[in-house]
A and B are shown apart, each in its own frame.
Chain A
Amino acid sequence: QQQVRQSPQSLTVWEGETAILNCSYENSAFDYFPWYQQFPGEGPALLIAIRSVSDKKEDGGFTIFFNKREKNLSLHIKDSQPGDSATYFCAARNGNEKITFGAGTKLTIKP
């Protein structure tokens, strides 16, 4: 049973465009949602995170939009660059319980 779902599985956008990565979840008890970025040959690295009491979080060119009622969130990457090409994982956690990861979205930015 996959509790955190990501779409699309892969996404290609042109340099300078906004890339939008989607995530939905089933467990309404989840209250913390980190996004991780993984480059080939490396481990995932925390990129940005949001708590369920907020509906938006910005950090540089990365923005999370969170909809608690619909149980979904999205990561927007503004003015995307080829260096942003990576796999992005949406994750969710309930209190101090283990983090549940989505299956990832592979993002390719074409120059």
Chain B
Amino acid sequence: ETAVFQTPNYHVTQVGNEVSFNCKQTLGHDTMYWYKQDSKKLLKIMFSYNNKQLIVNETVPRRFSPQSSDKAHLNLRIKSVEPEDSAVYLCASSYRGLEQYFGPGTRLTVL
């Protein structure tokens, strides 16, 4: 049963465009995350956010930014996409940093 929802499922865009991905969790969790999963299935955390603190992985380019309206939503914006941004973006949530629950992912293809 899905409790972490992501939209869209897929997105194809051109280099330089801006994209935005949505994530919503209905678990009542207090922390949300964005991960990037590359073609080799490697999972790399990009951001973690609760209502008190945003933690950014220092290797994430500045064109990526998280946007949150409340603790149930954490969107991801990419200001000017580049070819190396092609990947699956996974949203997850947890309560007090315990077990993480993942959404189905958004597959981004940059042409």
A contacts, CB < 8 Å to B: 34, 36, 38, 41-46, 49, 87, 89, 93, 96-99, 101, 103-104, 106
- B111 at the A/B interface (Cβ < 8 Å)? no
Pick from B4, B99, B103: contact of A46, CB under 8 Å: B99
| Count of chain B residues near A, Cβ 8 A | 19
B87-108 contacts to A (CB < 8 Å): 90, 92, 96-97, 99-105
A-B contact pairs, 17 of them (CB 8 A): A42-B104, A43-B4, A43-B90, A43-B92, A44-B43, A44-B90, A44-B102, A46-B99, A46-B100, A46-B101, A87-B41, A89-B43, A93-B97, A98-B55, A103-B40, A103-B42, A104-B43
B contacts, CB < 8 Å to A: 4, 40-43, 45, 48, 55, 90, 92, 96-97, 99-105
- Distance of A88 Cα from B4 Cα, bound (Å): 20
- Distance of A93 Cα from B94 Cα, bound (Å): 13
A68 to chain B, nearest CB (A): 21
Residues of B with C-beta under 8 A to A89: 43
Residues of A with C-beta under 8 A to B92: 43
- Distance of A89 Cα from B101 Cα, bound (Å): 14
B45 touches A103 (CB 8 A): no
Which residue of chain A has the shortest Cβ distance to B90 in the bound complex? A43
- Distance of A87 Cα from B41 Cα, bound (Å): 8
